[in-house]
Amino acid sequence: WREAHHKRNFDPGLVHFVDVVDSSGRDTRLLDRELANDVGKPLDVDKLDRQVATLYGSGRYALLDWRPVERDGERGIQITGEDKPWGPLFGKLGLQLSDDFSGHAFYTVSGQVTATDIGQSGARWTNGIWLGRITGLYSNFYQPVGELGQGYVMPDLWVRADTVPIYVDNRELAEYRMHRNHVGISAGWSPDPRWELSARLARGYDFASLLVGDPSVFSNEHTNWSSLRLSGIWDTLDNADFPTHGSRVRLEYEAYRPLLGGAVNGDVTRLT
């Protein structure tokens, strides 16, 4: 009686095909390449869920789902994707207000425009601007590398100025305008959504101009620097904004050396 009522092991069978349906009619080669390795293998529901979640996390899709289907007596998977209707060009505006209730009130207006799906590999170009307490602009171009986009190369440019007060014994003695300008290029590799290794080579110029304070005590300063940064990230959080479980660890090592015109020699290690 027990043997007759014993729950038999479920045989998921082999996946004979993968159909990708994109309601927008855009290029679906990235989805096809990501799921091509599942054909001819047993259906792994957990793995498929992770793959779909990773593709959805690229930010391109408003809806991405899968379901088992049968065609000509063979079992397969159908992926349904729905692109965001407001893409592939995205923009956002921001306003930041701050007040220390001691006579210092600041504002910063920001704007950002991102162009996605550039070229066959789905590159992304982001440009932004700040106005107010923080003034400047930035630009970066994210180019996926590899058949499945597991690697990337990203050149970037930053030009930024920020007002920074100098305190001694809780008294503000000076105020500087900090100018930070740098150009760099990053490369990364993420074969698994949970972790990423990256490196960045940068060349920059920092200049601090005195706005308020005694020039005989606080002088203008400038620095040329070159750096190489290596970092690794482990991230299993279930939500980027309000996670309920998981963890995120970032280990970073940055070496400043007097190369490419730089004048700083030092090392920085960060663990967050």
The pLDDT score that the predictor gives to residue 218 is 87
- How do residues 50-108 score in pLDDT, each as one tens digit? 778 777 776 677 788 888 888 888 888 888 877 777 777 889 999 999 887 777 788 99
In this prediction, residues 178-199 reach a mean pLDDT of 92
Name the residue with tokens 């990364």: 188
SS3 244: coil
Say what the pTM is.
0.76
Q: Is 80 exposed, middle or buried (0-12, 13-18, 19+ CB in 10 A)?
A: middle
Reading the block at residue 230, the tokens are 């290596």
Which of 158-162's residues contact partners 24+ apart within 8 Å by CB, and which partners? 158/182, 158/183, 160/130, 160/134, 160/135, 160/136, 161/134, 161/135, 161/136, 162/133, 162/134
End-to-end CA distance of the chain: 57
- Say whether pLDDT at 12 is over 70: no
Q: What's CA 151's distance to the chain center, in Å? A: 13
pLDDT attached to residue 30:
65
Mean pLDDT of 14-19: 82
Per-residue pLDDT at 160 exceeds 90: yes
What does the pLDDT look like over 205-224, one tens digit per residue?
Answer: 999 999 888 888 888 989 99
**For the segment 223-261, what is each residue's pLDDT rounded down to a tens digit?**
999 999 999 999 988 777 788 888 999 999 999 999 888
On whether the CB atoms of residues 118 and 131 are closer than 8 A, the answer is no
| Other CB atoms within 10 Å distance of the CB of residue 260 | 12
